[in-house]
Amino acid sequence: AQKITQTQPGMFVQEKEAVTLDCTYDTSDPSYGLFWYKQPSSGEMIFLIYQGSYDQQNATEGRYSLNFQKARKSANLVISASQLGDSAMYFCAIRGLQGAQKLVFGQGTRLTINP
């Protein structure tokens, strides 16, 4: 079984500041993948970044980076130099790397960027 916990229901950040969104996970799979998705008010789910449990380095994609601490079972998303367009719901998700690759999502964090 897999579980994702996102403990921050909402966050408010000033524009241009960096922000960290927390994600902790639990899994019995020896190999797994961790994902972050963004859901703006328009409703679509946008893939941001992926981290494999076997990856030695933290994943980065532009202004997004994943602070992966395997021993602590955490996979926090870091957004550098936040922009007004970053205001959205953010979901952390996990899946095993065998079989059907089903995603298990956390409840999400609503991020609001203030000008």
Residues interacting with another protein, by CB under 8 A? Answer: 4, 33, 35, 37, 43-45, 47, 50, 52, 91, 93, 97, 100-108
Cα 18-62-17 angle, rounded to 5 deg:
15
Do residues 34 and 83 lie in contact, with contact meaning Cβ atoms separated by under 8 Å? Answer: no
**Based on CB atoms, which residue is closest to another protein, 77 or 108?**
108
Interatomic CA distance for residues 17 and 82, integer angstroms: 5
Query: Please, what is the minimum distance in Å from the beta carbon of residue 79 to another protein?
Result: 19
Query: Please, what is the minimum distance in Å from the beta carbon of residue 91 to another protein?
Result: 6
